[in-house]
Amino acid sequence: MDPNSQNQRWSKWVWFVKPGRMIQRPFVDVKANCARFGRKAFGSVSRMNVTQTGRGYIIEVLTEGHPVHDQNFVEYMRENWEEFFVSGFGLGTKVKMTAKLMAGSRQDGTPSAQMLIIPSLKIGDTHA
């Protein structure tokens, strides 16, 4: 996969979710529901990471092909995901969303952004 090839646009969407009511939901259910909803919202050319923190959840989606430079689209996604989280975690749920262009054109004449994804390594790995 070369995210920096022409005509691709990669974006990263992050939701910080603080559940409103104390609805106890198993983490596996949260992950499964987010994955299902994310697939509907973004399609399969996406990668999702769900993290549970002390205050709630962080949902990160790296996806290709969505007009993240279009504020109307960003607002549309914000409303839909907020509705999804509120229906799942109950009233009073607080949702904060960020959307960032990772690779591709902003359609404003500036040079295209490019993206790198760094792997992780463990001590003990040696340079061959």
Partner 1 sequence: MRRLVLALITLINSVFSFDIGRAMWRVHKNRRIPFEIRMWLLQGALVLHPIRGGANALYDTFKNGLGLKVFDMDVDVFKATLIDSADYTYSAAHDFYGGGTPDVPAAAKVAESADLSGTWSAAGVFDSPDFSWLTVTGDQSEAIILWDDTITDDRLVAFYDTGITGMPVTPNGGNINVTVHTSGWFSL
Smaller CB separation from partner 1, 58 or 86: 58
CB of 91 to partner 1, least distance (A): 31
Smaller CB separation from partner 1, 4 or 33: 4
CB of 83 to partner 1, least distance (A): 27
> Interface with partner 1 by CB under 8 A: which residues?
1-4, 12, 49, 62, 100-103, 110-123, 125-128
CB of 25 to partner 1, least distance (A): 21
Q: Which of 103, 106, 102 is nearest to 5 (CA)?
A: 103
CB of 67 to partner 1, least distance (A): 17
Distance between the two ends of the chain, CA-based, in angstroms? 24
What span, in angstroms and rounded, lies between the C-alpha atoms of 58 and 52?
6
**C-beta atoms surrounding 48 within 10 Å:** 17
CA dihedral 30, 13, 74, 77 (to 10 degrees): -10
Smaller CB separation from partner 1, 56 or 104: 104
Smaller CB separation from partner 1, 62 or 95: 62
- The SS3 assignment for 32 reads helix
